C-alpha cells in the first residue's frame, strides 16, 4: 500500500489505483492516520527538494520531521527503529531516512545517484522477532539475537547480517546483497531466508533465484532449493521437498513482495492449516505486497483482497472475490 500512496502523491497513479487508496483509507481510522503520516513526510521531502541550500542542517531536518509526524498523529501500534545507523533518534530518524531517499530520487540537479539503503520503520513481535521496512520497499524479518547493518554501497542495496533473517526484496536493476561471515547472497528481487550459524551459511529460497558466493565459488539456487556454505568451504545446493518446513518462525511467516495472489492464498492456507482457493480466476495473477504477524485468517484475507483491489470474503474453504 505504501507504494500506491507514493504514486498517488506523485500524481502517477491510475484511476483504479487512486480508488484503491481511497477505499483503504476509508476501511479503518488507523489507515487514514497512516496515510496522513506518509503525506506529511512526503510534503516535507517536496519542500526540501526545492530548497536552494545544497546541504541543509541535519538537526533542523530532524526537528522538522519530528514535528510533522507529531502533527500527523502516530499509528495505533508503536513502531521503533532498531539496529540502524541512527540508533537513538527514534521516529525522527525514521522520518529523516524517508526524506533522504525521497529527496535523492526526486533531485533534478546534477547526476542521479543511487539512494542509500536504509530502514524506515520496524516493529517487534513474538520471540523478539523484528519486522523492518526498508527504503527500497524490501521487508526484512529478523530473528531474536540477530543483527543487521546498512553500510553505504553505491553499487548494491547491501546489508550485513549476523544471525537469521527472512527477506522479501522487490525487483530492481540494482542488486540486493546480504553479506555474512561465510558468504554473500545476491538477488535482483525474491523471497529467501538467510541463516548464519556456527556451521556456516544456509539460504532457503522461497521465490525467485539467488546467487550464493563463498570460498571463491558461486552457485545459483531456485525456489524449493537450499544453498549451504560450510565454514571455510565452497557452497553447494540441494533440492528440498518442503522448504517451508525449514522456516520455523515464531508466529509463522507471512511476508509477500509482488507475490501472485494464488501463491499468497496457498501460503495463507498453509499458515492457518485450512484449505483455501481463489474463486475468481481473474484475480489469481494479481500481485500482492504485504506482511502480517498475529492477525486472524479473516483479517489477513480482508487485507490481501484490499491490496488486490477486490472485495472478498471466506466462505467455507473458498476465498470469494467480487
Query: If you ran DSSP here, which 8-state letter would residue 316 be given?
Result: T
pLDDT at residue 267, rounded to an integer:
93
C-alpha separations of 103 from 100, 107, 184 in Å:
5, 6, 30
- What's 245's domain CATH number? 2.60.120.1440
Domain endpoint, select from 206, 232, 249: 249
For residues 113 and 150, what is the distance between their CA atoms, to the nearest angstrom? 17
Please tell me the predicted confidence (pLDDT) of residue 51.
Answer: 56
% of the chain with per-residue pLDDT over 90: 32
**pLDDT of amino acid 27:** 73
Domain stops at, among 113, 131, 155 = 113
Cα–Cα distance list, 79 to 11, 83, 146, 261, 306 (Å) = 28, 13, 19, 27, 23
Is the Cα dihedral 305, 167, 258, 121 positive or negative?
A: positive
Q: Picking from 112-126, 142-156, 189-203, which range would have the lowest pLDDT averaged per residue?
A: 112-126
Whether residues 280 and 171 share a domain: the answer is no
Average pLDDT, the chain: 78
36-50 pLDDT, tens per residue? 777 777 776 666 556
Closest CA to 261 of 282, 284, 293: 284
Would you say residue 95 has pLDDT above 50? no
> Are residues 169 and 186 both part of a single domain?
yes
**So what's the pLDDT on residue 69?**
46
Task: Give 65's pLDDT tier (boundaries 50, 70, 90).
Answer: low
Is residue 90 domain-shared with residue 15, that is, in the same domain? Answer: yes
Query: Which strand (E) or helix (H) includes residue 264?
Result: helix 261-272
Please provide residue 318's backbone torsions phi and psi, each rounded to the nearest 5 degrees: -120, 135
Whole domain around residue 263: which residue ranges? 254-321
What pLDDT sits at residue 31?
77
Give the model confidence (pLDDT) of 222-269 as tens digits. 999 999 999 878 999 999 999 999 998 887 889 998 899 999 999 999
Residue 170, pLDDT > 50, answer yes
The answer to whether residue 100 scores a pLDDT higher than 50 is no
Pair (145, 96) in one structural domain: no
Are 209 and 223 in the same domain? yes
Residues 6+ apart with CB under 8 A from 67: none
Domain count, the chain: 3
Amino acid at each position: 500500500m505504501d507504494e500506491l500512496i507514493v504514486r498517488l502523491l506523485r500524481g502517477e497513479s491510475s484511476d483504479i489505483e487512486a480508488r484503491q487508496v481511497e477505499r483503504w483509507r476509508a476501511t479503518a481510522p488507523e489507515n487514514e492516520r497512516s496515510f496522513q503520516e506518509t503525506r506529511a513526510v512526503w510534503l516535507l521531502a517536496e519542500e526540501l527538494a526545492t530548497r536552494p541550500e545544497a546541504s541543509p542542517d541535519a538537526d533542523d531536518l530532524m526537528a522538522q520531521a519530528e514535528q510533522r509526524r507529531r502533527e500527523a498523529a502516530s499509528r495505533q501500534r508503536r513502531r521503533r527503529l532498531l539496529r540502524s545507523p541512527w540508533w537513538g533518534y527514534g521516529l525522527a530518524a525514521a522520518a529523516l531516512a524517508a526524506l533522504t531517499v525521497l529527496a535523492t530520487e526526486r533531485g533534478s540537479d546534477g547526476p542521479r545517484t543511487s539512494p542509500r539503503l536504509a530502514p524506515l520503520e520496524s516493529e517487534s513481535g513474538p520471540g523478539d522477532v523484528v519486522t523492518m521496512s526498508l527504503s527500497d520497499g524490501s521487508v526484512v524479518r529478523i530473528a531474536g539475537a540477530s543483527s543487521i547493518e546498512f553500510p553505504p554501497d553505491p553499487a548494491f542495496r547491501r546489508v550485513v547480517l549476523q544471525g537469521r533473517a527472512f527477506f522479501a526484496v522487490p525487483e530492481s536493476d540494482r542488486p540486493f546483497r546480504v553479506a555474512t561471515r561465510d558468504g554473500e547472497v545476491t538477488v535482483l528481487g525474491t523471497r529467501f531466508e538467510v541463516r548464519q550459524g556456527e556451521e556456516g551459511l544456509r539460504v532457503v529460497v522461497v521465490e525467485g533465484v539467488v546467487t550464493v558466493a563463498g570460498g571463491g565459488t558461486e552457485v545459483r539456487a531456485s525456489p524449493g532449493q537450499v544453498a549451504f556454505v560450510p565454514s571455510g568451504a565452497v557452497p553447494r545446493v540441494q533440492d528440498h521437498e518442503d522448504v517451508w518446513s525449514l522456516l520455523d518462525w515464531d508466529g509463522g511467516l507471512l511476508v509477500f513482495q509482488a507475490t501472485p495472489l494464488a501463491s499468497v492464498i496457498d501460503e495463507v492456507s498453509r499458515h492457518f492449516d485450512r484449505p483455501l482457493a481463489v474463486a475468481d480466476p481473474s484475480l489469481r495473477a494479481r500481485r500482492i505486497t504485504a506482511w502480517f504477524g498475529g492477525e486472524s485468517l479473516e483479517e489477513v484475507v480482508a487485507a490481501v483482497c484490499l491490496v488486490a483491489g477486490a472485495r472478498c470474503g471466506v466462505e467455507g474453504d473458498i476465498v470469494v472475490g467480487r
